[in-house]
Structure 1
Amino acid sequence: MLDASLPPIRLVLVAEDPLARGALSRVLSDRGGELVLLGAGTQVELESTRSEAPDVVLWDTGMRLQESEGRVELPDLGAPVLALVSDEAAGELALTAGARGLLFRDVGPGPLTSALSAVSQGLAVFDTGLADVRAAPRSAPAQARHAPGPETLTPREREVLALLAEGLSNKAIADRLGISEHTAKFHVNAVLSKLGVQRRTEAVVRAARMGLVTL
């Protein structure tokens, strides 16, 4: 049970299977004031029609997460992603794609709500049965991880990086892009992580050296 004094967690549900989407929507809606479901649909639908930024994304990967041309695309909805997976193989694919948390698809409503809360606050959450997946090396090549290029940043992250190069704050970035400050902070943190730095100035310097921005 979440602290009743805290505001409800705003989330969107990404699920390709309409039956799974309907079942999960009912479970989430039954959590009362703990959760607010902003929307539910397929990844394409939600990415093309998104409006209000959520606090967290719940991604049901289905019975079998398939790779598309050697990679799996994480839902890009401006919030950290908690993935529901059917097995360790799907968990590894989701984790490599950038999911912040992994749970099995048969997780109960209580643990699911707690995990959504934790991931929305930037924490990593793993089912105990997926501990080996958490410790396993990522399938992405080491060179790609240590030497990120333009293709590793989403279009939105490249926009944020350009605004970082202008010296803008998170609030200023949010105002410029018409997004919430929470979403801007999430994208800034994603840029720092992908560039392997901890400070905004370091990100700009590294990006300049890589030709991603012009100073």
Structure 2
Amino acid sequence: MIRVLVADDQALVRTGFRMILENTDDMQVVGEAGDGARAAAMALDLRPDVVLMDIRMPGVDGVEATRRICAAGLQTRVMVLTTFDLDEYVYAALRAGASGFLLKDTLAGDLLSAVRVVARGDAVVAPSVTRRLLERHIGTGPAPAPTALDTLTDREREVLSLIARGLSNLEIAARLHLTEGTVKTHVSRVLAKLDLRDRVQAVVHAYESGLIRPGV
């Protein structure tokens, strides 16, 4: 059973998400929070598998709440919800440790699929939107020193750059003439070497380290 905490400052929105989530056999809403401080506190107490986190809330917003939850070292995963696909706060939430984001008008089926993906430890990445977010907020200044990228092999750097461009494991396998299993191994090694949780953080790291330059 996937245990979900819903955080949104609008009671009607929380009720809507609860109805969608609890209309399945594999999900249970274990709590609701109307602000970020409450969401973070409840996550630490209840330890849900997934938190659906509204970004813009009064007081402590979803970004800070995400930061608190991820910094606590829980297995809980955070998926942020936003009204705008280029919301400036989404980028901050991804950097804080969120495992992806969805628009609030996402179809019910897509929401449920995303919760399942995040719950099993993967990430929800909308490549085109995520890339536009990163390009918009990272800027086009000089590339920083590669630092941790030096620990990667040439093949691992290549795989990371393709992840950052939004390719799936299957697409990377086709591009590099590898099996999908081999690509999964490379992805796992990249995440381990760079101490990253998932593909979302890998994408952010690729941009921030200068491996991928905005607009390129």
Normalised by the length of structure 1, the TM-score is: 0.52
Distance apart, 1:34 and its partner CA: 2.4
**What is the distance in 2 between the residues matched to 1:114 and 1:40?**
20
Distance apart, 1:93 and its partner CA: 2.6
| Structure-2 change in CA distance of 1:48 and 1:197 (3 Å) | closer
More helix by share: 2
> What does 1:179-190 correspond to in 2, within 5 Å?
none
Residue 130 of structure 2 aligns to a residue in which SS? Answer: helix
**What is the distance in 2 between the residues matched to 1:129 and 1:67?**
29
> What does 1:1-215 correspond to in 2, within 5 Å?
8-30=1-23, 32-41=24-33, 42-49=35-42, 50-62=44-56, 72-74=64-66, 76=69, 78=74, 79-87=76-84, 88=86, 89-127=88-126, 130-133=129-132, 135-136=134-135, 196-197=194-195
| Unmatched runs of 5 consecutive residues or more in structure 2 | 149-190, 197-216
| Unmatched runs of 5 consecutive residues or more in structure 1 | 1-7, 148-192, 199-215
Normalised by the length of structure 2, the TM-score is: 0.51
Percent identity between the two aligned chains: 23
CA contact (8 A) 1:104 1:127 kept: no
RMSD (Å), alpha carbons: 4.0
Q: Deviations over 1:54-79 (max 9, x none)?
A: 111111224x89997xx744151731
One-letter code of the match for 1:85? Answer: T
**What is the distance in 1 between the residues matched to 2:58 and 2:95?**
12
| Structure-2 change in CA distance of 1:197 and 1:34 (3 Å) | closer
| Structure-2 change in CA distance of 1:46 and 1:197 (3 Å) | closer
**What is the distance in 2 between the residues matched to 1:67 and 1:48?**
11
Distance apart, 1:95 and its partner CA: 1.4
**What is the distance in 2 between the residues matched to 1:112 and 1:65?**
24
Partner of 1:153: none
CA contact (8 A) 2:37 2:65 kept: no
Distance apart, 1:10 and its partner CA: 1.1
